Amino acid sequence: MRLAAFTDFGLRVMMRLADKPETILTTREIAEEFQISYHHLAKVVQDLVRGGYLQTKHGAGGGISLANPPHKVTLGEVIRYLEQRHALVECFRQDGGNCLLTPSCRLKARLFEAREAFFHSLDATSIADCAYSGATTREV
């Protein structure tokens, strides 16, 4: 299964903030650290705020932080949320897609089962388990 770049970036933000949950970072700081477009990352952050995974603080010293303790948020729930707009295959789209195999397809049920197993395995891992402390400097 391939995750969308949007989901990948969202996971990076969550993992980075999970390292020190009491710390507030700005979207710009994270974008620069991960060498991601600020504007693209801002959309990801806004989506995570809407989903209740991040919270924002405005003004001096403002930025983003986790909305919940990182040990209470699983990879599975975050990925389900971020991937909801990306269908694994056409027939999984909300509108049902336009697949000619639909009337007699025997693949859909197996793909659904595999996707659920994928998410189920990620439900056993919290964001805290994947906390990322940021770039480390290497001594030469």
pLDDT score for 36? 95
Residue 10 in domain? yes
Residue 72 in domain? yes
Residue 137 in domain? no
pLDDT score for 135? 65
pTM equals 0.85
- Which CATH number is 57's domain given? 1.10.10.10
pLDDT single digits (tens) 57-85: 988 888 999 999 999 999 999 999 999 88
**Residues counted in the chain:** 140
Q: Does the structure show a pLDDT above 60 at 136?
A: no
CA 131 vs CA 61, 87, 101: distances in Å: 22, 28, 42
* Residues of the domain holding 27: 5-130
pLDDT single digits (tens) 3-51: 899 999 999 999 999 998 998 999 999 999 999 999 999 999 999 999 9
